[in-house]
């Protein structure tokens, strides 16, 4: 029997664009700064307190340009008070320098990818020296790191970073599950990954494709946080495209409320995540 205290607050993150999904796959993908801002506001209304942000060039290709991030962040800020978590993962094949572009904007949060994996037919490279360099730059930007762990060993790498003083507590883990070539999601996997993180750390699950809904619900049941959105999954149901990320957020929020979990607003999420800027 899983017992989650009803008052246990839930942070929902919306990954509204990512670097890989194309307009050919779904017409509902936001691309321009205005589209990103409109989608961020819709997700906030649906229950998201964090927006995991990538940006695109006008032709839809992925970018880590500080100018494009600056524009998107400014537009989002005009519309809504969500926590903006910029990607430092970018797209496979980008150099570390290129990936660090958004940190110029001093985002409240930034991702820190904690290891290398096969990423479909590509390799998402995060060498140990690269991870440390990115961690230093996130700290210099004054951003709170979200620790993206695609494998169990990535958690242990994050703990090494903590020991080395490169990241501080409380730690925030995102278990990214179901990337083709990396660990597949299951309840056992989530429970084991959760068992590896220190007391006081928060954890969330972001699962890819058809795994998104069941793993979101599992994380919510087990007392974790969750990430949904088009970056990881473009379908609401089998064969039915989600009309943006907001419907996916709304469904996760409704599920959480049905279990008595409180879906928090951005200010409460800031306090939970230790964001003080």
Q: Is 87 in the site for Zn ion (CB under 5 A)?
A: yes
Q: Which is nearer to ligand KMH, 116 or 216 (CB)?
A: 116
The interface partner of residue 124, options being Zn ion, ligand KMH, none and the CB cut-off 5 to 8 Å by kind, is ligand KMH
Question: Residue count at the site for Zn ion (CB under 5 A)?
Answer: 1
Q: Is 233 in the site for Zn ion (CB under 5 A)?
A: no
Q: Which is nearer to ligand KMH, 98 or 187 (CB)?
A: 98
Q: Which two tokens stand for residue 230?
A: 């088009």
Q: Which is nearer to ligand KMH, 134 or 256 (CB)?
A: 134
> At its nearest, how many Å lie between ligand KMH and the CB of residue 94?
9
Q: Which two tokens stand for residue 218?
A: 């599992």
**How many alpha carbons lie under 13 Å from residue 6 in its C-beta half-sphere?**
4
Q: Which is nearer to ligand KMH, 111 or 143 (CB)?
A: 111
C-alpha 26/C-alpha 60 separation (Å) is: 12
> At its nearest, how many Å lie between ligand KMH and the CB of residue 30?
15
> At its nearest, how many Å lie between Zn ion and the CB of residue 50?
12
Q: What is the DSSP string of 95-143?
A: -HHHHTGGGGG--SEEEEE-S-EEETTEEE---HHHHHHHHHHHHHTTP
Cite the DSSP H helix spans in the chain.
33-46, 66-79, 96-99, 128-140, 152-163, 187-195, 212-222, 246-258, 266-273
C-alpha 7/C-alpha 29 separation (Å) is: 34
Q: Is 245 in the site for Zn ion (CB under 5 A)?
A: no
> At its nearest, how many Å lie between ligand KMH and the CB of residue 54?
6
The interface partner of residue 38, options being ligand KMH, Zn ion, none and the CB cut-off 5 to 8 Å by kind, is none
């Amino acid at each position: 029997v899983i017992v989650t205290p009803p008052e246990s607050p839930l942070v929902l993150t919306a990954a509204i664009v990512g670097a890989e999904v194309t307009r050919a796959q779904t017409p509902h993908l936001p691309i321009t700064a205005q589209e990103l801002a409109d989608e961020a506001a819709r997700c906030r209304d649906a229950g998201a307190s964090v927006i995991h942000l990538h940006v695109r060039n006008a032709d839809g290709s992925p970018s880590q340009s500080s100018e494009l991030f600056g524009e998107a962040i400014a537009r989002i800020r005009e519309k809504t008070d969500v926590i903006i978590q910029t990607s430092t993962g970018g797209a496979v094949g980008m150099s570390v320098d290129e990936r660090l572009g958004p940190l110029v904007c001093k985002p409240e949060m930034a991702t820190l990818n904690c290891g290398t994996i096969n990423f479909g037919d590509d390799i998402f490279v995060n060498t140990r020296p690269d991870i440390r360099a990115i961690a230093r730059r996130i700290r210099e930007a004054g951003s709170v790191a979200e620790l993206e762990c695609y494998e169990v060993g990535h958690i242990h790498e994050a703990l090494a970073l903590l020991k080395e003083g490169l990241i501080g507590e409380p730690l925030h883990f995102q278990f990214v599950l179901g990337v083709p070539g990396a660990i597949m999601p299951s309840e056992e996997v989530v429970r084991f990954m959760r068992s590896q993180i220190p007391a006081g750390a928060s954890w969330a699950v972001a699962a890819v494709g058809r795994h998104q809904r069941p793993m979101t619900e599992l994380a919510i049941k087990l007392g974790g946080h969750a990430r949904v959105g088009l970056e990881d999954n473009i379908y609401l149901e089998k064969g039915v495209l989600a009309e943006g990320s907001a419907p996916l957020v709304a469904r996760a929020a409704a599920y959480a409320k049905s279990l008595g979990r409180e879906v928090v607003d951005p200010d409460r999420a800031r306090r939970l995540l230790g964001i003080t800027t």
